[in-house]
Amino acid sequence: MLALGKLLELTLAGREPAQKIQLTADGVRLRWLGEGALEVTPPGGQDTGLDLLLSAGIHGNETAPIELLDRLLQGIARGDIKPRARILFLFGNPGAMRTGDRFVEEDLNRLFNGRHECSCGSEALRACELEQLATAFFSLAGRTRLHYDLHTAIRGSKLEQFALYPFKEGRAPSRRELARLRAAGMEAVLLQSKPSIVFSAFTCEQLNAEAFTLELGKARPFGHNAGVNVERLEQRLKQIIEGTEPSLEEASLDGLQLFSVAREVIKHSEAFILHLPADVENFSELPKGYLLAEDAGKTRWIIEEKGARIIFPNPKVKSGLRAGIIIEPASEALLDQSLA
């Protein structure tokens, strides 16, 4: 196997490869771009016109997605997977990956869309670098752009595998992309309603990619991910990479639950209290009238929405950041109905 196929090994060791460019026997080019970053280019005449960005490890302790990307890249380097798309593999936060922590100084996935300019430290520098890598990768005109940013969650979930669909002004969510996500094993999709500061929001809003944050289960250490089933996603990614994906023309959204953001719960001060058990799962239902949270100045979040659920509850975030999202069922009427 080509040495550049061991990008994860190089990243965890903090080593730079002796050779920056290698070719497989089939003429696929692997090019090391920097720490945790590798570009794959198919042979001439075999390119389907897709630019696919696959990122993982934005949070260093979310290892199942990292291991998934490692398997895909090793398959390419061995010649078992034959790409017909350009691919950029990114391991987002090498420092946190090496220590097994969510982050080193600051949550990297809250530093995109210019937010890193208001901060400092290793994660702020890395967010800037990742934006630059993604911008350069998606700079070719006339190509299809797709980004999957793969994560696992801090806590358990009533719906274990789900996607977050970033908001972009003037663009409806694509039914085609939702069908692809359903085929990849996603049980639910959250349609976001305003700009965000996460990585997939940057590539969606600034680089015009179809971009998604995928939550694949609960975070576990390296080598302990037998309980995180990514078989359907892995198979679909191989098909996308090789240009063998089944047609989405007749694809169904059956079984895919759609949600929209009703409100974000923002922590304003250290007086913030979240009235939920510490082990509450994502997508837990909240009854009407329930007092969800309180903060200084008599600020209160009381559930008013029908069918409301909570995701990403975290009262330990810094003041000014999101401590949870209240979501509600969404209608398919919000979608771009085209499958062309």
Distance of alpha carbon 5 from its chain centroid, rounded? 22
How many angstroms separate the CA atoms of 283 and 310, rounded?
5
Residue length, the chain?
A: 340
**Which listed residue (205, 215, 305, 332) is catalytic?**
215
Element (H, E) at 58: none
Tokens 């929001």 -> residue: 201
Q: Taking the CB of residue 141, how many other CB atoms lie within 10 A of it?
A: 4
Among 176, 155, 154, 156, residue whose Cα is nearest residue 165: 176
Residues 173/179, Cβ–Cβ less than 8 Å:
no
Q: Cβ(215)–Cβ(153) under 8 Å?
A: yes
Residues annotated in a binding site: 59, 62, 151
Q: Encoding tokens for residue 130?
A: 């990742």
Tokens of 252: 């169904």
Q: How far is CA 291 from CA 87, 273, 282, in A?
A: 46, 10, 17
- 164 pairs with which residues across the strands? 190, 213
* Nearest Cα residue to 305 out of 288, 285, 319: 288
Stretch (H or E) spanning 125:
helix 122-137
Binding residues for Zn(2+): 59, 62, 151
* Annotation says 285 is catalytic: no
- Give the catalytic positions in this structure: 215
